[in-house]
Amino acid sequence: MSKEQSITYIAQPGGQLSGEFRVPGDKSISHRSIMLGSLSEGTITISGFLQGEDSLATLKAFRAMGVQISGPDEEGKVVINGVGMHGLRAPHGSLDLGNSGTSMRLLTGLLSSQGFDLTLAGDHSLSSRPMKRVTDPVVQMGAQIESQEKGTAPLKICSNDNTQLKGIDYTLPMASAQVKSCILLAGLYAEGQTCVTEPAPTRDHTERMLQGFGYQLDIQKLDSQKSKICLQGGGKLTACDIDVPSDISSAAFFMVGASISKGSDLTLNHVGINPTRIGIINILKLMGADITLSNEKEVGGEPVADIRIRYAPLKGIHIPEEQVPLAIDEFPAISIAAACAQGQTILTGAEELRVKESDRIQAMVDGMQILGIDCEGTTDGMIINGGSEFTSGTVDSLGDHRIAMSFAMASLCAKGAITIKDCANVNTSFPDFIGLAHSCGLNVTSSNEQEA
């Protein structure tokens, strides 16, 4: 029987965060830079590419389809020789996307009309996540996709040489950047116009990067929340270099850690502050956090800034639902901030958290209850009664990198050590999290074991 490595974190109580550094590159932008760069005409250079397992899964998938890609080197430099919109070749065997939901959901659209059969596969966690919300609209466009009985991966995309995809006008049932991106990427190969209407703002990295590669989009603001994004199929992508900002989702753990630990004063450099991603900043400020931005500029169409966070007492709030899509990946960390805040924090409108790498609502509630926090889960969020210190205890991250890193930050306000199980997947988004955390004052170590 094969053995897999199991990693456990042990986070000692107390401490404060200080220093100045840069967290790894943005995962969302790293994925898309490989996808669109591979389909462009010309050679592109990517700087600051995230060398985590998720984004490397995307890179390996395009190599398997015949794209020449060199790197990444130690600095995160990647060079891609683009093959154009119709230059991909059938891979030998399935494309193994590991734990990366972004890879699978976006590639479902992008590869739905390539003229060859292929299978998108992943690990046990990815194979349990819902995929019908991306396969259903792409099938409406004319793609032939076979999934498992419950609509999960592996996904088999069948060649449709004789049937070109047809553009559709699709309204998202819930705000999701991955579903929006999947449909737009399928629309690149569709006859006519493809439009996606989103009920609330979601991250717009796909739209920004498509425009950066010279693809024309029509983006209409329908009201304060709704937008409609349209494109015509049959265009081309022109190569351009990409500088990947630091990932605000990775910065979020340190933003929360510095906000809750007395005496902290931390600066995170060159962080992406895309307006569709700054929910973490907005929510923490509403809770009373001391956060300032400086050195703001735009790099490759993406706004970046240095973010300084100093300790400040936090208060519980009812999180505005319009902020939820802007911070959907950051709620495990925000939950820790809420537990340390005075008063009650209520999260609603976040049902998507139940279908991430884990059921993040239940995982955080279970873990916080083990550590002595008064909280409960709801259908679409949670209620957290803050103001208590975390107790010592053992929590299970369920293989979810964001759960693991969030509970590591909880140790800053804990009475005793917190043991966090099943942390191997932290490498999917944050290589060397332990080393960087140590460098700024978090006392967390890891132990490796072999499990049958």
The arithmetic mean of pLDDT across residues 410-417, rounded, is 97
Of 192, 225, 243, which one is at a domain's C-terminal end?
243
**CA–CA separation, 143 and 284 (whole Å):** 42
Q: For residue 355, what pLDDT is reported?
A: 73
Q: Specify whether 94 is located in the same domain as 81.
A: yes
Q: Specify whether 223 is located in the same domain as 254.
A: no
**CA–CA separation, 144 and 46 (whole Å):** 33
Residue 186 clears pLDDT 60, i.e. is over it? yes
Of the listed ranges 162-166, 180-184, 199-203, 393-397, the one predicted with least confidence: 162-166
pLDDT, one tens digit per residue, over 262-303 is 999 999 999 999 999 999 999 999 999 999 999 999 887 899
Q: Specify whether 151 is located in the same domain as 287.
A: no
Q: Specify whether 174 is located in the same domain as 230.
A: yes
Q: For residue 162, what pLDDT is reported?
A: 58
Catalytic residue among 54, 96, 329, 400, which?
Answer: 329
Of 217, 243, 269, which one is at a domain's C-terminal end?
243
Residue 75 clears pLDDT 90, i.e. is over it? no
The arithmetic mean of pLDDT across residues 321-331, rounded, is 92
Give, in order, the Cα–Cα distances in Å from 423 to each of 117, 213, 375, 419: 35, 37, 23, 10
Q: Confirm if 321 and 349 have CB atoms less than 8 A apart.
A: yes
- What residues have CB less than 8 Å from 277, skipping those under 6 apart? 203, 248, 249, 326
Q: Specify whether 291 is located in the same domain as 437.
A: yes
- Answer yes or no: 366 catalytic: no
Of the listed ranges 145-154, 248-257, 403-412, 440-449, the one predicted with least confidence: 440-449
Q: Specify whether 237 is located in the same domain as 306.
A: no
Residues, the chain, total? 452
pTM given for the model: 0.86
Q: Specify whether 207 is located in the same domain as 266.
A: no
Q: Specify whether 279 is located in the same domain as 293.
A: yes
**DSSP SS3 for 27:** helix
Q: What's the CATH code of the domain at 18? A: 3.65.10.10
Q: Specify whether 159 is located in the same domain as 259.
A: no
Bridge partners, 271 (sequence order): 246, 305
Beta strands in 126-226 (DSSP E): 144-146, 155-158, 169-171, 193-198, 218-221
Q: Specify whether 358 is located in the same domain as 377.
A: yes
Domain count for the chain, please give it.
2
**DSSP SS3 for 219:** strand
Of 181, 210, 243, which one is at a domain's C-terminal end?
243
Q: Specify whether 304 is located in the same domain as 344.
A: yes
Give, in order, the Cα–Cα distances in Å from 12 to each of 16, 53, 413: 12, 27, 10
pLDDT class for 428, splitting at 50, 70, 90? confident
Q: Specify whether 394 is located in the same domain as 415.
A: yes
Top-confidence range, 66-70, 74-78, 396-400, 426-430: 66-70
pLDDT, one tens digit per residue, over 227-262 is 999 999 999 999 999 999 999 999 999 999 999 999
Domain encompassing residue 235: 27-243
Q: For residue 42, what pLDDT is reported?
A: 94
